[in-house]
Amino acid sequence: MGSYAVKRLLGLIPTLLLVVTLVFFLVRLAPGGPFDAERAAPPEVIAALEAKYNLDAPLGEQYLSFLGDLLKGDLGYSFKYPGRTVNEIIGMSLPVSMTLGFWAMIVALSFGIPLGMIGAIRQNTWKDTAAMAVAMVGISIPRFVLAPLLVLWLSLGLYLFPVARWETWRHMVLPVICAALPTMAYVARLTRGGMLEVIRADYIRTARAKGLTERQVVLRHALRGGLLPVVSFLGPGFSGLLVGSLVIEQIFSIPGMGRYFVEAAQNRDYTLVMGMTLVYGTLLMVLNAAVDMAYAWLDPRVKLS
């Protein structure tokens, strides 16, 4: 397991280099630039700005300069936030998004897995219908609809939680619920599907024949195999939550990474786009590697090589 983990982590380097290279050239070849505006600046001002950020150099030279700075851990200055480096923006926004994503995933797993288990164990009963109805609601209601409804009900109606900002645990409740509900719905449906495939397997019948209680059969044997689809979903799902949700962060005025990511793309903020892409790509690949190792731990038939 240890050698496989090292091999996977080393394998991230060429993949990240490919991703960074593609994004670097795509954002620079796309129409528009970081200094375009409705009211055009004088040509001499544009020329001075391009010289300051090395945009007047050939594209190949810009790329090599970026890679050299990247090896030093320097992502450069943001074009749209004067005086602020990309490292500072990521260092400020990523912990906020990671906190939101972490608690959203904890809530999603805490409620989604039990709902899926109930749906599988009590298949075609009212409990199954109720559990899947909750999951369907979570999938069907978009976050930009759910968030205002929760604000109207719990903030402006019952005065239980603050409307916006990110300061105390009370400010976290509504954003975490909004981020967790769709993920919880997917986890519930995946758990139910995985449990239904496993619960009729031969080794489950053998466990029942040995006299184990239904609780022991489910928790010790069926659940471990039934969680495999959920584990596969956790890689991209968790990385998406960790990096941040634009809708949630905009509605609740959360200074997270998702908002900066989209604004950077809209503003053609090359350096910020590259920094955000690097962070997101690294998280996605590391979490997918962790998912592969967890998959092998849950299913002994899977061999890591």
* CATH at residue 275: 1.10.3720.10
**Average per-residue pLDDT for the chain:** 81
Question: What percentage of the chain exceeds 70 in pLDDT?
Answer: 91
Centre a 10 Å sphere on the Cβ of residue 40 and count the other Cβ atoms it contains. Answer: 10
Query: 221 or 278: which carries more pLDDT confidence?
Result: 278
Identify whether the C-beta of residue 198 lies closer than 8 Å to the C-beta of residue 204.
Answer: yes
Distance CA 74, CA 86 (A): 8
- Over range 173-187, report the average pLDDT: 89
The domain in which residue 268 lies consists of 1-305
Question: What pLDDT, on the 0 to 100 scale, is given for residue 41?
Answer: 64
- Alpha-carbon torsion (10, 260, 168, 100), positive or negative: negative
Per-residue confidence (pLDDT) for residue 39, from 0 to 100 = 58
Q: Read off the pLDDT band of 122 (50, 70, 90).
A: confident
Running DSSP on this structure, what letter comes out for residue 78?
-
Strand partners, 85: 77
Q: Name the residue with higher pLDDT: 44 or 95.
A: 95
User: Are 72 and 65 within 8 A, CB to CB?
Assistant: no
* Of 62 and 202, the one with more pLDDT: 62
Quick one: tokens of 54? 């090395």
Helix (H, G, I), strand (E, B) or coil at 124: coil
What does the alpha-carbon distance between residue 23 and residue 27 come to, in Å, rounded to a whole number? 6
Q: So what's the pLDDT on residue 222? A: 77
Q: pTM here?
A: 0.79
- Asked whether residue 182 carries a pLDDT value surpassing 60, the answer given is yes
Crossing angle of helices 270-298 and 2-29, in 10° steps, is 150
pLDDT at residue 262 above 70? yes
Asked if the model's pLDDT at residue 219 lies above 70, the reply is yes
3, pLDDT greater than 80: no
Alpha helices in the chain (DSSP H): 2-29, 43-52, 59-71, 86-121, 126-140, 143-150, 169-198, 202-209, 214-216, 223-226, 228-243, 246-251, 257-266, 270-298
pLDDT for 305 equals 57
Number of domains in the chain: 1
Q: Is the pLDDT score of 244 beyond 70?
A: no
Q: How far apart are CA 39 and CA 21, in angstroms?
A: 32
- pLDDT computed for residue 246 by the predictor: 74
Instruction: Say if residue 251's pLDDT is above 80.
Output: yes
Rounded average pLDDT over 141-153: 85
Instruction: With a cut of 70, say whether residue 37 has pLDDT above it.
Output: no
